[in-house]
């Protein structure tokens, strides 16, 4: 069994001390009641539920997995009851609209809850996570009748939701989809086609499943501009809102996967299933991106959540496992050997995990608050600025957090040594569960292309200013502070490299798109390191201000972790910068036959 306790002290530090939750979020219209006291209560109760209810079923759910027989998918033992308790506790509708039964709390709290869920039972979290995304899409794009019909039951959890995009012959290139939608003549459509890799596409935890399906009308233009979005329920809904007859949608099989085995990943067959158009025809991609962008941020939190559990488990093990003696001489002469935490390489692994986790948490919650500001701030300019930041950081959070989540879970296995490779310790499950996050909701290479191909040049570089300007302002405000010098100087250096790389990609990419493509992943990682350096420098400033001459243990640990990040991890930026500036030639000159 892995070790996990919700990192509430760090969550509070980031929300309140670093990011000023009260001033940034609780002051927004509609969030006045979401005070610090309420937030503390919510995250404390959420932590208890995740630690006491979700975590105990994580390993058994992985070992049992989902089963499929005669078109019926059954989730592992205890999952149905767990889901009922989750919904009854109000967790399903935490940040969803109160107009349809949600609690209407800030999206920032949803980010916190998502991390806790992913740390304790990622497979379980897939079911409410998909529903949450579907609700967001319907709230923004559905008609009033569609909202009234579907949202109350989905928000409560009686019904769940999915997103049906991928087909056997197309994943990223959705313009190739073949699922068709033929008008019935009564305002509904016959949906026919096959979708694959559909998370929570079929299961036994809710009385209905509401599929959001991409399909093409008979007169659809070619490519992605011809895609429309449809609601296709598993069971048709009667006029009184109750569940009616079975629709023409069925699960053909479930995938046997490397990880997240308690999450049903389905092949879904639509055989003239009755569906209902969401919004205008041929606008489905834009509407689905509403759901996908939320999902991409959620997937980033999956990487962070698993990495946090890996760190806590590895740190606990390293303090207990006795092997060898410290290179500086015995640290526990009364014992047969010293705990492995005395060894430099073990400490390097643990500090790498800790530094990335805490830096990522700060970055994630900064963006989470921007999500709330973009939705609720009374000033249109402030809303636009916040929305720009979210758009810019979404591919970075999705890609970097999941890459590092996989790396950190592997480091956790390394700390455990041979025991980490054995199932009963729980560490190898974290690795298997983490791997998919680098692939779904847009593989990480696609996220990098989104960053350099769409976000950098969008609105003449306006999105970039939402990051570059506050970082530059922080550097200028703190560069003369001697206590901050060891942190501000490397931050200024990496920001300069990021700016140089941005200019180089912009110039070279205009002449040759392959140059931008070749640099994309290294550029995204350079951007992510810069963002984490900025967050770590800000955390240092807060911790120094909290010391009052004597540094409390919590802040002392923050400063030590910050020094490790700046001195041992940030230097990776030099290699990334060099790789970017090397251009496409090392990648593209190789003839295809030579691979």
Q: What angle do CA 197, 201, 206 make, to 5 degrees?
A: 155
- The predicted-structure confidence for 555-568, as pLDDT tens digits, reads as follows 999 999 999 999 99
- The predicted-structure confidence for 510-537, as pLDDT tens digits, reads as follows 899 999 999 999 999 999 999 999 999 9
Here the tokens at position 48 are: 């208890």
- The predicted-structure confidence for 144-155, as pLDDT tens digits, reads as follows 999 999 999 999
- The predicted-structure confidence for 64-75, as pLDDT tens digits, reads as follows 999 999 999 999
In the chain, count H helices and then E strands. Answer: 19, 11
For residues 371 and 383, give the distance between their C-alpha atoms in angstroms, rounded to a whole number: 9
User: Could you count the other beta carbons within 10 Å of the beta carbon of residue 431?
Assistant: 23
Query: Is the distance from CB of 106 to CB of 95 less than 8 angstroms?
Result: yes
Q: What pLDDT does 173 receive? A: 84
Mean pLDDT of 417-432: 98
User: Could you count the other beta carbons within 10 Å of the beta carbon of residue 162?
Assistant: 26
Q: What pLDDT does 294 receive? A: 84
DSSP class per residue in 52-106: IIIGGGHHHHHHH--EEETTEEEPPTTHHHHHHHHHHTT-TTTTS-GGGT-----
pLDDT at residue 247 tops 70: yes
Percent of the chain surpassing pLDDT 90: 95
What is the set of active-site residues?
441
pTM of the model: 0.97
Q: Percentage helix, strand, coil, to 5, in the chain?
A: 60, 10, 25
pLDDT at residue 171 tops 90: no
Q: What pLDDT does 334 receive? A: 95
For residues 43 and 65, give the distance between their C-alpha atoms in angstroms, rounded to a whole number: 29
Position with higher pLDDT, 460 vs 115: 115
- The predicted-structure confidence for 37-73, as pLDDT tens digits, reads as follows 999 999 999 999 999 999 999 999 999 999 999 999 9
Which of 79, 567, 183, 512 is closest to 355 using CA atoms? 567
Q: What pLDDT does 549 receive? A: 65
Mean pLDDT of 456-484: 96
Mean pLDDT of 365-391: 97
pLDDT at residue 434 tops 70: yes
- Tell me how far CA of residue 497 lies from CA of 284, 494, 523, 555, 573, in angstroms: 39, 5, 10, 30, 8
Per the DSSP assignment, residues forming a β-bridge with 117 are: none
Query: Is the distance from CB of 298 to CB of 219 less than 8 angstroms?
Result: no
Q: What pLDDT does 546 receive? A: 85
Q: What pLDDT does 550 receive? A: 72
- The predicted-structure confidence for 273-303, as pLDDT tens digits, reads as follows 999 999 999 999 888 887 788 889 999 999 9
Which of 51, 96, 60 is closest to 79 using CA atoms? 60
């Amino acid at each position: 069994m892995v070790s996990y306790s919700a990192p509430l002290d760090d969550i509070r530090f980031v929300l309140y001390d670093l990011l000023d939750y009260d001033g940034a979020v609780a002051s927004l219209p509609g969030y006045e009641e979401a005070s610090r006291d309420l937030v503390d209560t919510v995250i404390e109760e959420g932590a208890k539920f995740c630690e006491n209810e979700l975590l105990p079923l994580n390993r058994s759910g992985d070992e049992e997995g989902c089963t499929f027989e005669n078109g019926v998918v059954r989730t592992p033992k205890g999952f149905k009851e767990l889901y009922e308790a989750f919904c009854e506790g109000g967790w399903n509708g935490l940040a969803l609209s109160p107009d349809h039964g949600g609690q209407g709390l800030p999206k920032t709290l949803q980010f916190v809850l998502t991390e806790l869920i992913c740390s304790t039972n990622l497979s379980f979290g897939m079911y409410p996570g998909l529903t949450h995304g579907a609700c967001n899409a319907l709230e923004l794009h559905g008609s009033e009748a569609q909202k009234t019909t579907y949202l109350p039951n989905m928000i409560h959890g009686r019904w769940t939701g999915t997103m049906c995009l991928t087909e056997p012959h197309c994943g990223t290139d959705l313009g190739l989809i073949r699922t068709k939608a033929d008008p019935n003549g009564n305002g509904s459509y016959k949906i026919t086609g096959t979708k694959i890799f559909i998370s929570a596409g079929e299961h036994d935890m809710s009385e209905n499943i509401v599929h959001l399906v991409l399909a093409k009308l008979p007169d659809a233009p070619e490519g992605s501009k011809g895609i429309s979005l449809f609601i296709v329920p598993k069971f048709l809904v009667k006029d009184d809102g109750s569940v009616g007859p079975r629709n023409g949608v069925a699960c053909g099989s479930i995938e046997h996967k490397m990880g997240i085995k308690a999450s049903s990943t389905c092949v879904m067959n639509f055989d003239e299933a009755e569906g209902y158009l969401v919004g205008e025809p041929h606008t489905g991609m834009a509407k689905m991106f509403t759901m996908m962008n939320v999902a991409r941020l959620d997937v980033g939190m999956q990487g962070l959540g698993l990495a946090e559990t890996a760190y806590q488990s590895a740190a606990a093990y390293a303090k207990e496992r006795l092997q060898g003696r410290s290179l500086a001489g015995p640290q526990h002469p009364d014992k047969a050997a010293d705990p492995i935490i005395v060894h430099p390489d073990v400490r390097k692994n643990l500090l790498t995990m800790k530094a990335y986790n805490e830096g990522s948490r700060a970055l994630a919650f900064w963006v989470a608050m921007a999500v709330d500001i973009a939705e609720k701030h009374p000033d249109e300019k402030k809303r636009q600025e916040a929305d720009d930041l979210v758009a810019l950081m979404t591919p970075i959070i999705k890609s970097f957090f999941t890459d590092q989540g996989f790396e950190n879970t592997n480091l956790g296995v390394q700390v455990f040594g041979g025991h980490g490779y054995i199932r009963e310790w729980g560490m190898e499950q974290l690795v298997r569960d983490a791997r998919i996050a680098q692939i779904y909701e847009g593989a990480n290479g696609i996220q990098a292309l989104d960053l350099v191909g769409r976000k950098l040049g969008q609105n003449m570089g306006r999105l970039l200013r939402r990051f570059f300007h506050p970082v530059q302002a922080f550097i200028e405000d703190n560069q003369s502070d001697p206590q901050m010098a060891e942190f501000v100087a490397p931050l200024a250096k990496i920001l300069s490299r990021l700016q140089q790389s941005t200019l180089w990609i912009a110039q070279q990419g205009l002449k040759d798109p392959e140059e931008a493509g070749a640099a994309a992943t290294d550029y995204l990682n350079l951007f992510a390191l810069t963002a984490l350096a900025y967050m770590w420098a800000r955390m240092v400033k807060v911790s120094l201000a909290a010391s009052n001459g004597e540094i409390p243990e919590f802040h002392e640990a923050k400063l030590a972790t910050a020094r490790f990040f700046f001195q041992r991890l940030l230097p990776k930026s030099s290699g990334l910068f060099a790789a970017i500036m090397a251009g496409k030639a090392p990648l593209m000159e190789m003839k295809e036959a030579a691979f």
